[in-house]
Amino acid sequence: MLAVLAPGQGAQKPGFLSSWLDLPGTDARLRWWSALSGVDLIHLGTQADADEIKDTARTQPLLVAAALIAGEHLPLYDVGLVAGHSVGELGAAALAGVLPAEAAITLAGVRGREMAAACKAEPTGMSAVLGGDEAEVLAAIDELGLYTANRNGAGQIVVAGATDALGKFAAEPPAKTRIVSLSVAGAFHTPYMSPAEQALAAMAGGVTVSDPARILLSNLDGAAVIHGREMLQRLVRQVTAPVRWDLCMRTLRDLGVTGVIELPPAGTLAGLIKRELKAHGVPEIVTLNTPDDLPAARDLIARHGMAPSLEPTPLFHVAVAASAGMFQPAEGLEEGQDVRAGQAIGQIVTRQGNVEVTAHAGGVLTEWLAHHDDPVAPGQPVARIGGQQ
């Protein structure tokens, strides 16, 4: 399986979109998206310096635009999974077919502006915590009234909150840790961003969504989200919720992903994956930074993606697990029986409780792909529903 990943804030580099402007249609599209987002994406992606593109209000729509521009030049119908880190989730949701590109850009503009405004309300910040015992680090964060904003795997936790509390945390760090202050505007992915979440929710209420056309992972818990409306709700909630990229990478591992393409500006997520999955087998990775990298990315998709076929194929829908756990089919439900859209066809038993599996569309339960007490990963197909084309 091949995964396409969209990076988040902090990955941007001056001039990283310059070479993409040479591709037909890119200039016009970025001008249209600039009008929607309220920022000059062409200037920001080509001429702006590092300080200018560090501004949250500008960076967020710029990163989403970059992911969408690059994604337009890939055969996404062969891609099995997409995910994004923080604001990268908006780009991933568009590439999965949940959001129109214009909606993703507009929401990124609102998200960036409102988060930037929330940062100015009171002095807050973020620091990376490297190493140490995880339980001790989390306890120290909680003791000072700070928040865990990101858990990026490979022994890296990002702590956020009031600047005076961050100072105390750095002055007396947990044992065997190194604290690195991050150059950010404020405490992202914490309750300090509540005004931004409320503003984004008000805008998101008018967005038309579709259900994802491929596996789409959520930063909230690394789960595969199968309903478009739920993903939109998660995108809004993620403004104040921590980014669990560690759980997203665990899902990549559990699903046996063998190839990864990181969209521009690429490199950050590739580095995390190499460190986190080195003991389990690192997927083949292409960092897509310029159009010159497109042939390598397309070749990776051809070798690791889902090969298209011209032969007649069954028309069916696949029900997937949203969480990791043990699958239990609904009692009395057998292959060959009719199911309706939204009907519960089973459940995933987890330590946190049972998670219902529902039919995405009505039809005939053609085949169970998982059976009673089979272990399943997020996004793993558990049943095939439908008929012949």
Q: Are 346 and 232 found together in one domain?
A: no
Spatial separation of the C-alpha atoms in residues 104 and 227, rounded to whole Å: 17
Of the residues 251, 281, 304, which one is the last residue of a structural domain? 304
Residue 308 has pLDDT above 70, yes or no: no
Q: Which residues are CB-contacts of 93 (< 8 A; sequence separation ≥ 6)?
A: 84, 99, 104, 212, 216, 231, 232, 235
Write down the residue that tokens 């929607």 correspond to: 36
pLDDT number for residue 9: 93
Three-state DSSP at 2 gives: strand
Q: Are 107 and 198 found together in one domain?
A: yes
DSSP state of 121: S
Residue 309 has pLDDT above 50, yes or no: no
**Residues in a beta bridge with 353:** 350
Question: Picking from 57-61, 292-296, 311-315, which range would have the lowest pLDDT averaged per residue?
Answer: 311-315
- In degrees, rounded to 5, the angle at the alpha carbon of residue 187 between the alpha carbons of residues 82 and 189 is 35
Q: Are 110 and 245 found together in one domain?
A: yes
Question: Picking from 61-75, 203-217, 262-276, 308-322, which range would have the lowest pLDDT averaged per residue?
Answer: 308-322
Of the residues 304, 326, 352, which one is the last residue of a structural domain? 304
Spatial separation of the C-alpha atoms in residues 149 and 86, rounded to whole Å: 10
Residue 389 has pLDDT above 70, yes or no: no
Per-residue pLDDT tens digits for 322-376: 778 899 999 999 998 999 888 999 999 988 889 899 887 788 998 898 899 999 8
Contact 242, 191 (CB under 8 A): no
pLDDT number for residue 316: 60
Question: pTM, whole model, 2 decimals?
Answer: 0.81
In a domain, 186, yes or no: no
Contact 345, 333 (CB under 8 A): yes
Q: Are 148 and 230 found together in one domain?
A: no
Q: Are 43 and 98 found together in one domain?
A: yes
Q: Are 11 and 68 found together in one domain?
A: yes
pLDDT band at 315 (very low <50, low <70, confident <90, very high): low
In a domain, 371, yes or no: yes
Cis check for the bond before 265: say yes or no (omega within 30 of 0): yes
Structurally, the chain folds into a number of domains equal to 3
The token pair at 137 is: 């680090």
In a domain, 309, yes or no: no
In a domain, 42, yes or no: yes
Active site residues: 86, 189
Helix intervals (H) in the chain? 26-37, 41-46, 56-71, 88-95, 101-119, 134-143, 163-171, 194-204, 228-237, 245-254, 268-276, 294-304
Spatial separation of the C-alpha atoms in residues 29 and 326, rounded to whole Å: 45
Average pLDDT over residues 242-246: 95
Q: What does the mean pLDDT of the chain come to?
A: 91
Residue 310 has pLDDT above 50, yes or no: no
Structural domain for 344, as ranges: 314-388
Spatial separation of the C-alpha atoms in residues 363 and 386, rounded to whole Å: 5
Write down the residue that tokens 């409320």 correspond to: 198
CATH classification at residue 64: 3.40.366.10
Residue 154 has pLDDT above 80, yes or no: no
Kind of pairing, strands 215-216 and 81-84? parallel
In a domain, 201, yes or no: yes
The secondary structure of the chain in percent helix, strand, coil, rounded to multiples of 5, reads 40, 25, 40
Three-state DSSP at 348 gives: strand
pLDDT number for residue 52: 95
Q: Are 292 and 330 found together in one domain?
A: no
Of the residues 255, 285, 304, which one is the last residue of a structural domain? 304
Average pLDDT over residues 124-132: 94
DSSP state of 278: T
Q: Are 109 and 135 found together in one domain?
A: no
Q: How many helices (H) and strands (E) does the chain have?
A: 12, 17
In a domain, 297, yes or no: yes
Three-state DSSP at 384 gives: strand
Residue 225 has pLDDT above 70, yes or no: yes
In a domain, 142, yes or no: yes
pLDDT number for residue 352: 82
Give, in order, the Cα–Cα distances in Å from 319 to each of 43, 178, 324, 357, 380: 44, 44, 14, 7, 8
In a domain, 98, yes or no: yes
Q: Which residues are CB-contacts of 192 (< 8 A; sequence separation ≥ 6)?
A: 118, 119, 121, 122, 124, 160, 161, 186, 240
Residue 252 has pLDDT above 60, yes or no: yes
Q: Are 137 and 269 found together in one domain?
A: no
Percent of the chain whose pLDDT exceeds 70 = 96
Per-residue pLDDT tens digits for 263-301: 999 999 999 999 998 878 899 999 999 999 999 999 999
Q: Are 12 and 98 found together in one domain?
A: yes
Residue 192 has pLDDT above 50, yes or no: yes
Percent of the chain whose pLDDT exceeds 90 = 76
Spatial separation of the C-alpha atoms in residues 224 and 251, rounded to whole Å: 9
First to last CA, the chain: 25
CATH classification at residue 164: 3.30.70.250
pLDDT number for residue 314: 46
CATH classification at residue 381: 2.40.50.100
Q: Are 101 and 208 found together in one domain?
A: yes
The token pair at 29 is: 């599209």
Q: Are 113 and 22 found together in one domain?
A: yes
